[in-house]
Chain A
């Protein structure tokens, strides 16, 4: 080896060593371990005070939310804030992801032809750099015991919608047991999908909050979507005991009354228990019981449905239990179960014609095919976390949904069943009361039975996977 090469290698080694040491120093010198910085700035608290890992709430954060975004320290009203304080947080996530979808029906071409000559099934894999939508979170108090939340949210193209808009009267009659919220809001799911720690297309939602049987026309039972309505909730002073009851329009949060005069109720209650060093354990139950239209008036032809004309309401329900179990300061397990049922009418494809989910109308004299049954299913999700520190969390999730009764006799019993696994971690290199930043890495795999194209196959299953990494930041 020449002296020149040795010298060059020495320089490189020296540079690498220097940079490594500096990076090490910078990392180790970072302030000890993210939240709506709008709240963190207001109260001078770090994200970790309210979030197990941002954006998932911990028990204290849940209590803060239940109190109407108030610490209840008589300094919650805006009058106590510096006039320059503006309760706004921006959140966006630049990412790189690779999505692989199995059994996609594609056209085939003969050589030199631009006209499809047949079909085939193949896996499509795509990868690249991407963006999430942009969220403008604004929330807080208008006055002591008058709180609000407003979340204009865009998709990655910049098209905005109102994800959340509500005002809340807190601690009515001086009691934490009576709070009333009106507007568009997330249902009182303690394992909140809007605060989910994962970001992939399939892993970024809780499947059991959105499950719809194959061929079913009911989109209105999606617990994970923000809904329009009014909610009454209450809790004990330490939030150990909680309840809520909400009346919602059966429109899946869509504005301008596009469906009909149907309503859904969502009810939940839970109790937490002090288990010493293990932490506070919470168990509870929920029920979503509602109706949605299957009959639509038309004007100018059978497919020209009149928005808002839905009648012929049929029922659906989702109910289950949830548990939040803590095993010391580092490990916890979140569990949600669900039993779901839709009316046989939905099961046969009647329901949301406005969005094209359903293509059949329950007109006068319509009867269900002989033997039609109300589709039912059961699901469970387990989400364990290992919280190394407020700055680093490892996330796992397993969800499975199994059909227990298909609507159409003879349908394979497993059609539409879902199993999905998600693993990932979030690392916050710093944690302050001013802004949040997470280096996010995640892998999701989802399997669904029988929903692939039946091209020479019998009930083909579909596997989809996604790997994602990116910067999740808010300020």
Chain B
């Protein structure tokens, strides 16, 4: 009996000792990340410090984005879209050209705005300083910020007056750059490619449904919509059209996209008066 007790005692002690390296194994990656704990963010004249964002991250964000910022939190299996992997340093909502890092303000705004049709709430309850600290904390997960500078925000010309001609021209742009292939001719997210779309990590992803009434993920103002298709949503199949659409045409497209949305707008009224038809995918180029 005594021998059995001693054997169990030894086994338990051995198990305890063996578990220590396992616990520290998870710390290896943390060690790499912790080297960037001095990361800062700069929002206006405010400076965010990564270390000061840690507690809020652990309280509010870790359940989805995970302790290592890799998007592998405990809710990962249940939420769709999946949480962002901050270690990759790739973000959808940016004011900067495709492929570049977002500005601190981009991340700052995203935290407060949230991401519609996802589990990312509007964290507008934070103080600005808390958000700035969280931006720095988010940045510290990715080595990209240690090696690269954010891109330069794209220039958005002043918004012109909306006219019937501009809405028609916007429809032509919608047809020419083939937005309908994913978003559908009526913006119902049912284009021929919609079912095949995947994000950069190979996960199925749905295009934005303009008719559903939901706010676009990266903002709902005209300037936000302009910015979305001119910068693209990195990590998703939505590319940047900065090389295909001229700035003036981009405003035309914004006005046409407004006609597809369920919310009341002057563009929608104008389209009604024009009896504007949806794009015809089979029409020859320039003959919509």
Contacts and interface: CB of A to CB of B under 8 A. Distances in A.
A268 to B, nearest CB: 19
Interface stretch (A68-76, A198-206, A416-424, A446-454): A68-76
A276 interface: yes
A59 interface: yes
Interface in B106-135: 112, 114-130, 133
B208 to A, nearest CB: 12
Contacts of A237: 122, 124
B15 to A, nearest CB: 8
B116 A14 contact: no
Nearest to B120: A73
Nearest to A20: B16
A60 interface: yes
Given A11-B2, A238-B124, A277-B127, A44 B63 contact: yes
A97 B55 CA distance: 34
A49 B130 contact: no
Contacts of B16: 18, 21-22, 25
A239 B121 CA distance: 14
B115 A73 contact: yes
A72 B120 CA distance: 10
Given A11-B9, A46-B63, A277-B52, A75 B122 contact: no
B119 A390 contact: no
A275 B103 CA distance: 24
A462 B214 CA distance: 60
B13 A21 contact: yes
A87 interface: no
Contacts of B212: 74
B59 A48 contact: yes
Contact of B78 (A15, A44, A275, A279): A44
Given A75-B117, A277-B129, A390-B58, A45 B215 contact: no
Contacts of B114: 71-73
A18 B60 contact: no
Given A17-B13, A237-B124, A277-B127, A49 B60 contact: yes
A276 B127 contact: yes
Interface string A1-29: 00000010001001101110110010011
A432 interface: yes
Interface in B248-285: none
Contacts of B126: 280
B23 A28 contact: yes
B108 to A, nearest CB: 14
Nearest to A63: B125
A5 to B, nearest CB: 13
B125 A238 contact: yes
Given A11-B5, A48-B59, A73-B119, A18 B78 contact: no
B67 A32 contact: yes
Contacts of A31: 74
B90 interface: no
A329 interface: yes
Interface string B130-169: 1001000000000000000000000000000000000000
Given A44-B63, A277-B129, A73 B13 contact: no
A433 interface: yes
A274 interface: yes
Interface string A42-73: 01111011000000000110011000000111
B19 interface: yes
A29 B63 contact: no
A33 B122 CA distance: 22
A257 B212 CA distance: 45
Nearest to A237: B124
Interface in B47-104: 52, 55-56, 58-60, 62-64, 67, 74-75, 78-79
Contacts of A329: 55-56
B12 interface: yes
Given A25-B19, A25-B23, A75 B59 contact: no
Task: Give the most central of B12, B67, B125, B215: most A CB within 10 Å.
Answer: B125
Contacts of B203: none
A329 B60 CA distance: 13
A400 B231 CA distance: 60
Report the contact-size class of chain A (Cβ under 8 Å from the partner). 35 or more
A37 to B, nearest CB: 13
Contact of B79 (A15, A25, A44, A276): A44
A14 B9 contact: yes
A389 B58 CA distance: 9
B9 A15 contact: yes
B71 to A, nearest CB: 12
B2 A432 contact: no
A390 B59 contact: yes
Given A274-B127, A276-B129, A432-B74, A49 B63 contact: yes
Contacts of A29: 23
Contacts of A279: 127, 130
Contact of B121 (A18, A28, A71, A278): A71
Contacts of A48: 59-60
A28 B19 CA distance: 12
Contacts of A11: 2, 5-6, 9
A64 B124 CA distance: 11
A73 B130 contact: no
A74 B127 contact: no
A18 B125 contact: no
Task: Give the most central of B9, B112, B214: most A CB within 10 Å.
Answer: B9
Interface string A296-317: 0000000000000000000000
A475 to B, nearest CB: 16
A74 B117 contact: yes
A433 B74 contact: yes
Interface of A: 7, 11, 14-15, 17-19, 21-22, 25, 28-29, 31-33, 43-46, 48-49, 59-60, 63-64, 71-75, 237-239, 274-280, 329, 389-390, 432-433
Given A14-B6, A14-B10, A74-B117, 8 more contacts: A11-B2, A22-B16, A60-B125, A71-B121, A72-B121, A73-B114, A274-B128, A389-B55
Interface of B: 2, 5-6, 9-10, 12-13, 15-16, 19, 23, 52, 55-56, 58-60, 62-64, 67, 74-75, 78-79, 112, 114-130, 133, 212-215
6 contacts: A45-B75, A71-B119, A73-B120, A276-B127, A389-B55, A433-B63
The 8 residue pairs across chains A and B that have the minimum distance between CB atoms: A44-B75, A238-B124, A18-B12, A21-B16, A74-B214, A276-B129, A71-B121, A14-B9
